[in-house]
Structure formats: structure tokens, C-alpha cells
Amino acid sequence: MYHDAVTNFDMARLFYEMAHLLEVRGESAFRVRAYQRAAQQIESLAEDLAAVAARGELQTIPGIGKDLATRITEYLATGKIGQLEALRAEVPPNFLTLLEVRGLGPKTAKLLLERLGVDSVDRLEEACTSGEILTVAGIREKTCENILKGIAIWRAGRSRMLLARARDIARQVVAVLQAQAPVERIEIAGSLRRMRETVKDIDLLVTSTDPPRVIETFVALPSVLEVIGAGDTKASVHHTDGIQIDLRVVDPAAFGAALQYFTGAKDHNVRLREMASRRRLKISEYGVFDELTGNRVAGATEEEVYAAVGLPWIPPELRENGGEIEAALTGALPALITADRIRGDLHAHTDWSDGHHSLAKLIEAAEARGYEYILVSDHSKSSTVAGGLGADRLREQIRAVRELQPRYKIRILAGSECDILADGAMDFPPEVLGELDIVLAAVRTPT
DNA sequence: GTCTACTTAGACCGAGCCCTAGCGGGCTC
């Protein structure tokens, strides 16, 4: 069976792709929505889709009927979906990227493909800037302007990827390399290690007895879209999910120095180099060296590197030249907030509006994380698209929440006549939260 | 496409804005 390599995320992504392709084809909006809904369900599934399939229970997932269950089974067994392959063949390879441009929908995109051969964002931009797009009936200056704005937003968003997504990709690549390449040690470096909210690329550092084979395995991964460059100890590739990954194989004696160097941030490293210079030392990705003798005095571990310039090890999350060097020098580095110190969640939706899970599941998840409280903040009726609660349904939800007493201490923040709190709903004394298990509030979506 | 109420068919989220075309459709949230 193929399913060992299939993640719920992969399957959901394929269904989203099918929804887009069906939309471009002009299929029924309900059919399109069926694929989108199924993708959402799979994304929020608490267990491995393959396990559900193995039990023959795919059709117990809401939104998955006979047809979609068949598609899932086909993919798990073969790694392909015949219908998707056929749909893909109907449009150019990168055509769907056009739909990521805000302001450009499937119909307009298809029209531009047919009339002007617009098959990529670059080509779209060219058609807009040259004015060629204005020759297409139904498109005027204003639309052209909006599309150009959309392209600018698309480019800005594309240049960086959200941390969680980049981390998933990095972990997958690390896991495959550990399984398939002669890797002794492998670490994620760069802004991903610093846990920046968004990252531009993924940096991986490896030690190995056979560097060329690591590189060879890396560039041949199925998830690699394009190899930018590859040598004996270094390679850069474009991943299919739209992010660049750089991999370096380094000497174990310099691993700490390389990890420190490639973790950055740049300004933090500049400060370190200045401190080293004052001690007649030189720091590089290869180690810490005595300026006079050229001997390496540190490099195997990050702790060694920091100690060489008179500092304790500094957590990567703090390495932004934002006062962490001064704090380290005076022994005042802050303790980072760890997951076990998070006491509660102040913004949670349930399936009463657009959440994917029931109130019971939400509570279960909160308890599993050791939370002291959770705020149920479903949409109000002002957000119809999200299935927001009107007065009657809100009363029902309040009743459902109250039924959880006395096991949980509860505070209801919504008014009796659906007099829903404005966004200031979170503005109540934090000490109150400590006494509560569940708070219910319907928060108005800004309109 | 799925789901539901009934076994074959109909419902399925919708308001508001923008743009183009002259009334309706695309798009967003």
C-alpha cells in the first residue's frame, strides 16, 4: 500500500486542487463546494485518514460520500487520482497559481488563458502593464488596476511562508533524509529555528561520513520541484510547496559554529563578531579562531562558540539583536514562554458556527493541554458566511454550555437577547479567568 | 459532490461591493 507516505494535509490539498480545477471548468458550484468541504474535514480530522480508510469508515466523515471515499481509496492505494490527472491535463501546469491572485477568479482567469494565453502570474502582469488585457471584453482600467494590486499582494505573501507550514515541510524533509541518507546529525537553522512568524527559506545543516550521497538524496526527493544548485557539500532547491531549501553538510568539529552562523539573525551575529574581535578572535561558520595563531578554539557546539566570547548560550528565539546580548552579559536572559505555561485559549470556535469540532471536543482538547479555561467565541449572526448564531441559537448554545455545570465553572458573557459583546469582549479582569473553566461569548465580527 | 427525506429528487449560505453593461455576474468574506 502507498498510504504510509500520505498525510491528511496531502489529501486535503489534492481536494482543494480538484475544487479549483472543477471551478475553472465551470462545473456546478455545489460540486466544487463538496470538494472544498471534504478538504476542510480532512484537514481538521483528528486521526490519520489512512487509519479511517483501513477501518472502512471513510463515509462516516461528514461531507465524504461514496464518490469522494472512492477517490481517497484510489489515492491511498496508487498515489494518484485519475480524475485529478485528467483535470490537470486541461490547463497549463502553473495555471492554478493565477487563482491565488486576489481579485482574479476562475472565470476571468480562464478567459484570459483562452484570449491572451495568460498561463502564469508573470504573464498576467505583462498583460496588465502592457495594456493588452484591455483588449478582452469585460475588462477595463479599474479591473486591470485591481489585478496589479492583487499581484503585488501575492508577491509579498509568497516571498515568506508562515512558520507552522514551513516547519511541517522542514520536518518532513528531515525525516526523509534521516531515513534515506547517511545522515549523522541534522538540524534546522535560520529564521525557522528562531521561530519567526514567517520565514523566507529553510536552512538545514547536516553531518555525514558521505556528504555527496546526502546531497544526491536531497536533490532527488520527490518533493523537490527544481534544483537551483548542487555541489559536494551544499545544495539549494525549490520545494513543491513554494519555498527554497538550502542544505549544507558540515564538519562535526564545526557543527556548532555553523549552526550558530546559519541561525542568525544577521545583526546578532554582527554583535558576536565584534565581541570576538575585541578578544582577538574570529568567528565564522567554520568555528572560532585565534587571530594570531589561526587555531580553532571552539566550534563543535553552540555553547562553545558563545562561551568563547564570554556569553552563555542564548536561545535562538532571542537572537535578533534586541537586547539579548546585554541581558546575557548580566545574567538576565528571560525565560521563554513554553507551551506548558499557557493557561487558556481566549478565542475558540465550535461547530455551532464555523469551527470544525463540537463543544465537547473543544473541552477535551483544552483539558488535554492542561488549560485552566477556554473562551467559546463563536460568530454572531453578523457573519452569515460563518454560520453565525442568531438570538435563538445563541440561547440554545448558552443552555448547552450551562449543562456542563457543575463540573465546570462557567461564565456567560453574551447578553440575554443576543446583545452580543463587541470586540472588547476580552476586556475583563484576567484574575477572573483563573477561577473559571469555560467562558462563553459570541464575538461580533467587525463589519 | 453530499445529504436528507423518501427511494428518486431537490436543497445545498448569502449580503454587499465592484465592474461592466445597460441587467447581471464575479468576487470577497
List, for residues A177-202, the tens digit of each pLDDT value.
999 999 999 999 999 999 998 898 99
3-state helix, strand, coil in chain A (%, to 5): 50, 15, 35
Report the nucleotide nearest the CA of residue A447, measured to C1': B29
Distance CA A349, CA A297 (A): 54
List, for residues A324-381, the tens digit of each pLDDT value.
999 999 999 999 999 888 888 878 888 888 787 888 888 888 888 888 888 887 877 6
List, for residues A143-157, the tens digit of each pLDDT value.
888 888 888 878 877
Percentage of chain A exceeding pLDDT 90: 41
Q: Which carries the bigger pLDDT value, residue A358 or residue A251?
A: A251
Report the nucleotide nearest the CA of residue A41, measured to C1': B2
List, for residues A412-424, the tens digit of each pLDDT value.
765 433 333 433 3
Tell me if the bond preceding A182 is cis, omega within 30° of 0.
no
Closest to A151 (Cα-Cα) out of A97, A105, A102: A102
- Nearest protein residue to B25's C1' (by CA)? A107
Residue A443's pLDDT band, with cuts at 50, 70 and 90, is very low
Q: Is the pLDDT of residue A207 over 70?
A: yes
Tell me if the bond preceding A69 is cis, omega within 30° of 0.
no
Closest to A205 (Cα-Cα) out of A221, A192, A219, A187: A187
Q: Which carries the bigger pLDDT value, residue A30 or residue A184?
A: A184
Q: How far is the CA of A68 from the C1' of B6 (A)?
A: 23
- DSSP H or E run through A226: strand A224-230
List, for residues A120-134, the tens digit of each pLDDT value.
888 999 988 888 888
Q: How far is the CA of A55 from the C1' of B13 (A)?
A: 33
Q: How far is the CA of A21 from the C1' of B9 (A)?
A: 27
A287 grid coordinates: 568555528
Q: Is the pLDDT of residue A210 over 90?
A: yes
- Nearest protein residue to B26's C1' (by CA)? A105
